[in-house]
Structure 1
């Protein structure tokens, strides 16, 4: 959701440097560790690929130097890499962009893309957001004057109204012609999410997706880890 003028990013981009992309970089690239959960897949990347992913940019908003990309045939390199590595990609488009374009990637100010969970993760005033790649002033400006508020992951406000900064999304929704229709469907959406969160549904869904799960080592490893965590 855009809350401010994006033209700043176009003015900040320096095409004379021959960079392919400019975007928001990680404030703490090494914070990706440990590689567990959804990040486990990054163990399959080479050191050079993983370095590009850590030092690259987020795929939610970026500026592309299309002239330079055409000149260097970058589009074909994107397609070739995707074709050869599709099975191991974690964040598909973001991984491909960073691996092919790194290190010719510039940084934009942090306020160009802020995750909605920052206020929950770092505190209401982002007091736990330690300056590293970005300065304290850049962090403060991002908190007070974000250009884009990015609802990360599957916890979108239109499905999970209790998520941080959902009220802002609903404020804008109420100014549209779709508000009435949305609120009429909201009770059903909430009930469906509740049903899907219950154990019977989750078990049924898992069995349908993994009919031979009892014969796989991965199932027992996951079960062992869950039981181990419960017994701590």
Structure 2
């Protein structure tokens, strides 16, 4: 396999891990808040069902979407969705207060009603996860290994591994990830800016689709576009890291002054 393809797949996989990490952390936090009114033993049981549901719904969504992925309208929806995710994060900051308020009203509900609500939340996060995974993977150059539905085997493998990483993160690393984002909140903003920029890439991919033909069919493969995409993406990632580190240092210095 060509080195440039390996690097592209590797980078997209890393971006997908970051995105899945954010969605998995959110999913895990929402589940934890939803079950916290239950006795400790039932909390663990409800979380087990929640994790099982997250696993099942993510892969059900994955296999369903693979049969629709080559429809340019689906690609357009994916592009709009990723850009929406970025804008929604900037404007609403995930609207966590409303989620917490909704969950607070759930006290006194039965165990199985709680599990049902957790599973409904899992479905929403599964759709988020797989739409984002497909939108990222579909921009990759096909490997020609095999086909799953309407998607190339290499692209499907990236999506599958991303889904697995999301479930693993949700099970083992969600708490640490939430703490990291709490310590360096700018990293989350940078991650969503990258998601939005990938949405722009998918928009270019859609506009160059043979059935749309607003852009030249080969434009997404051009050196100029690829160079522009990677320079901007690396700039966002590097900028997010430097700004988050600077803000963390400033916050510590401010805390020391007050102490």
TM-score (norm 2): 0.27
Larger proportion of strand:
1
Q: Which structure has greater helix proportion?
A: 2
**TM-score, with length taken from structure 1:** 0.30
Higher RCO, 1 vs 2 (CA within 8 Å, ≥6 residues apart): 2
Bigger Rg, which one: 1
